[in-house]
Amino acid sequence: MSRFATFLISFLFFFSLKADLSLSALKRKVDSADENQQIIGAGELFDSFKTYQAIAKKELSRDVWIDQSPDEKFFKFDSFYPFMQKVAIAPESEVIMWGDFHGSARALLEGLSFLQNEHYIDNHFNIMNPHCYFVFLGDYVDRWDQGIEILYTILRLKCANPDHVILLRGNHEDVTLNQYYDFEYEILTKYAGVGSFLFAAIKRFYETLPSALVLESENNCILCCHGGIEVGINPEKLVQSIGPVRYQLFTIVDRENSLPVGSALHDALITRVPASELAAFSMPLERPSNHSFGCLWSDFELCEQESISYGERGIRCGKALTHYYLDQISNGEKKVRAIFRGHQHNGDMYKDLIENRGLVKLWSDLVYTLLASSESMEEDIHFASFVKITTASDYTDWSVGHWFRDIKIKAQISRLFTVWQYLRENVFAVCDCTCCPVLGRRLRGLLSLFLLYKNR
């Protein structure tokens, strides 16, 4: 039998099992799942990717591009074309934003469950407030074993709320890194027989994702990305553009000529960054890791005195370079006030992220670094985290709230709860009906305590 025939049979078989999961049902399955256990049917996954791909193509095909629209090669979604998106929202809007998950679906679903209880979202993934937006900063997969459950969840959110959910690309939305950090292994293990086809659909999904987002509310903007600043591109035209949604495509990255020749910043750039990293290069790339594209890869230098440095993950931007860059792209009526990003869970920044449960601020709130979950990195501390940004007409009235919850103990309780549910249905009922009514009542009382803690 040919490979295609095998795939077709498997595909039709899995589609026969397709059934949309509610948010609460998905959370129960994830909380009680064993390592590399298949939770979501392949048919439902393929259907989610197909629906999303249609939405993404429709969004990107609109005539809202700055300077130039993408050509037909772009819409094949098989190469890396860096582009930015801009979205304008009303004052008093709320933006829920997540950093890196790295395969921790438990953290994502813990946060969504809280938002459901607070009536931000219903059990079918619909955002209930028309002035609420969800922004995801990338690095959904790798390192932990529930990356595909995260992709499924954010696809359900995007498909249910296409104008209110924004998915950005991280450096781990890259098939090369997926082969090294085990996401490919996760897919091939959970979906043997159709895993390679599913992985191909995931690669196409990656190529639809913006590298950065400019979020505007009444001329006040924030730059949202996974990594940091890419000095070789200038999104000033995008920042200053008018309209509810705009895009800008970048076909050339030129770092060496991005700063004024003879300035202290330019001198630091050419002396501290290898020449191979400064040479201009054109798009598309086969993969974003080829040149460590800054929006996906760059870090920030924690030492305020350092304007620019260089490390194994590319250029590190200091306070002076960050201020300069934001000033350059704010050369008009609209001003970029801050950067929200993830990515830098290493070194001293990592220690601060763990201690502060997923949020670190730099330089008088100029740069916010987010981490949505520590499950793939810490044995003892597993938290779920997101921030809530509330916009206003005046930027000084914007607010940034931080929600977090330790989830390691709750995950263990959830597994125990699954066992207790089985005992209640198959054992406690017998106790009530026979010779042990007191024991049955006491055991049900203990079950109620588990329920109370589980739903905190």
Residue 12 reports pLDDT greater than 90: no
Mean confidence (pLDDT) of the chain: 89
pLDDT band at 1 (very low <50, low <70, confident <90, very high): very low
pLDDT band at 440 (very low <50, low <70, confident <90, very high): low
- CB neighbours of residue 295 within 10 Å: 31
Query: What pLDDT score does 14 carry?
Result: 47
Instruction: Give 328-339 pLDDT, tens digit per residue.
Output: 999 999 999 999
316 contacts: CB under 8 Å, gap ≥ 6:
228, 298, 299, 300, 301, 306, 308, 309, 310
Residue 196 reports pLDDT greater than 60: yes
Query: What pLDDT score does 286 carry?
Result: 84
127 contacts: CB under 8 Å, gap ≥ 6:
120, 121, 133, 134, 157, 160, 161, 164, 165
Better-predicted residue by pLDDT, 422 or 202 = 202
* Cα–Cα distance measured from residue 242 to residue 88, given in angstroms and rounded to the nearest whole number: 9
Omega within 30 of 0 (cis) for the link into 284? yes
167 contacts: CB under 8 Å, gap ≥ 6:
136, 154, 158, 209
Instruction: Give 296-337 pLDDT, tens digit per residue.
Output: 999 999 887 888 999 888 899 999 999 999 999 999 999 999
- CB neighbours of residue 312 within 10 Å: 7
Does pTM surpass 0.75? yes
pLDDT band at 3 (very low <50, low <70, confident <90, very high): low
* Cα–Cα distance measured from residue 129 to residue 119, given in angstroms and rounded to the nearest whole number: 8
Q: Retrieve residue 430's tokens.
A: 């017998």
- Please compute the mean of the pLDDT values over residues 244-268 and round it to a whole number: 94
Query: What pLDDT score does 13 carry?
Result: 44
Better-predicted residue by pLDDT, 369 or 376 = 369
- Please compute the mean of the pLDDT values over residues 260-275 and round it to a whole number: 93
- Please compute the mean of the pLDDT values over residues 340-355 and round it to a whole number: 93
Query: What pLDDT score does 133 carry?
Result: 98
Query: What pLDDT score does 5 carry?
Result: 42
Radius of gyration for the alpha carbons in the chain, expressed in angstroms and rounded? 23
Query: What pLDDT score does 419 carry?
Result: 58
Residue 71 reports pLDDT greater than 60: yes
Instruction: Give 123-182 pLDDT, tens digit per residue.
Output: 999 999 999 999 999 999 999 999 999 999 999 999 999 999 999 999 999 999 999 999
Single-letter amino acid code for the residue at 426 = N
Distances (CA, A) of 117 to 122, 246, 339: 9, 33, 29
Residue 240 reports pLDDT greater than 60: yes
Distances (CA, A) of 260 to 125, 265, 268, 298: 48, 8, 11, 21
Distances (CA, A) of 366 to 89, 216, 300, 361, 402: 21, 16, 11, 7, 16
pLDDT band at 9 (very low <50, low <70, confident <90, very high): very low
- CATH code, residues 3-406: 3.60.21.10
